Amino acid sequence: MRILIASDAWQPQINGVVRVFETTKRLLEADGHTVEVVGPDRFAGIGAPGYPEVKLALFPGRKLRRIVEEFRPDAIHIPVEGPIGLSMRRICLKEGWPFTTSFHTRYGDYLHHRIGMNPEHAHLFQRWFHNAGERIMVQTKSLADELAARGYRNIVQWGRGVDTDLFRPWRGTPGFDPDFLGLPRPIFMYLGRVAKEKSLEDFFRLDLPGSKVVVGDGPSLKAYKAAWPDVHFLGYRTGEAIAQHLSAADVFVMPSRFETFGMVVLEALACGTPVAAYPVHGPADILEGADCGILSDNLGQAALDAAAIDRQACRDYAMQFSWKACTDQFFRNLAPLRGQ
């Protein structure tokens, strides 16, 4: 099958949505499918307000149509409600082509937290965007139930996996020094986007022994470095370096309250690192009933308690999450173009 993914989130951006589609594309191609991802790199664009590193395509419609006509897809997927997603949606509706979407960002919660906007305003837009498709793919049953209650239709599940070859425990590996960071233990780490909506200040305020470490980049990095001198900001890392940093941590702390899933939680577990998080959608869907993390509104106590969890139990739990199964699920959810 020839599958076209029209996504405003794509390389060279670095975030969870991009990682999902990089992996999905690779595995679909390994199964013999042809996958074309059309991202902002194909178009002229500008930086998103407050996020200059995120490029927004300017007037992509005409060029996008040419790309689609040349590629001749058998199925079209639209993951993000941005300029490319809106243009692809409009083309599909005009031509009568079925398409699928996926829900990745809680814009309502984010905008309410950032500027106090009523979350329903964002859901009004997202509902309009997604309900036009044949199916909306969501990561968890709890998110599916929430969106259904808000009026979203045709919801199907598309789970998440973790690359357990890349994300593996480095402790005990010959030549790897788990103390390479040179910081007092225990090390409590956050890895991900450094932005206000991630509630990182909840983490920074915790009264914890040892060291607090942040790995990642984002629009709030400069301000946080100035405001929180006791936190160690290590900047952006890629590939095996991410797994090595996660392996060096004693606890991964997830302070965000607005995740649709939180892939980095699985990545930390795959590296053998226990997780402390709030009992909210995303982390709770992964950790509820498991022996590899602590969910609590008292995030500080959760972090302290998580430090005592057996690291092998974390790795064993993460091994249950197969990307191959998730990719097969994605493929089954697609809506082939009529006549194909």
Domain contains 177: no
192 within 8 A of 264, measured Cβ to Cβ: yes
Task: Out of 57-71, 114-128, 199-213, 237-251, pick the least confident.
Answer: 114-128
One domain for residues 60 and 149: yes
pLDDT(224) > 80: yes
With 0-12 / 13-18 / 19 or more C-beta atoms within 10 angstroms meaning exposed / middle / buried, residue 117 is: middle
Specify whether 87 is located in the same domain as 52: yes
d(CA 267, CA 158): 18
Looking at every residue in the chain, the average pLDDT score rounds to: 94
Count of structural domains, the chain = 2
Tell me, what's the pLDDT at 114?
A: 65
Q: Tell whether 102 and 199 lie within a shared domain.
A: no
Peptide bond into 12 cis (omega under 30): yes
Looking at the domain assignment, is residue 168 inside a domain? no
Q: Measured between alpha carbons, how far is 89 from 4 in angstroms, rounded to an integer?
A: 13
Residues 208 and 222 grouped into a single domain: yes
Residues 6+ apart with CB under 8 A from 281: 140, 142, 143, 146, 259, 260
Residues 11 and 129 in one domain: yes
Average pLDDT over every residue of 75-83: 97
- pLDDT at 340 exceeding the cut of 60: no
* Residue range 268-324, pLDDT digits in tens: 999 999 999 999 989 999 999 999 999 999 999 999 999 999 999 999 999 999 999
What does the DSSP 8-state code read for residue 112?
H
> Which pLDDT score, from 0 to 100, does residue 186 have?
98
Contact 85, 60 (CB under 8 A): no
Does any domain span residue 180?
A: no
Predicted confidence at residue 45, as pLDDT, reads: 95
CA nearest neighbour of 191 among 142, 152, 234, 231: 234
Ranking 76-80, 170-174, 193-197, 219-223 by mean pLDDT, the lowest is: 193-197
Which residues span the domain enclosing 277? 187-318
Whether residues 135 and 231 fall in one domain: no
- Residue 151 pLDDT more than 60? yes
Give the span between the Cα atoms of 101 and 66, in whole angstroms.
21
- Per-residue pLDDT, 112: 58
- pLDDT of amino acid 156: 98
Q: Which residues, including other chains, have CB under 8 Å from residue 4's CB and lie 6 or more apart?
A: 35, 36, 38, 68, 71, 73, 75, 76, 77
What is the pLDDT, as a whole number, of residue 117?
75
| Res. 40 pLDDT band, cuts 50 70 90 | very high
pLDDT of residue 52: 81
pLDDT, one tens digit per residue, over 90-122 is 999 999 999 999 999 888 676 656 667 787 888
Tokens of 141: 């049953």
Both 296 and 329 in one domain: the answer is: no
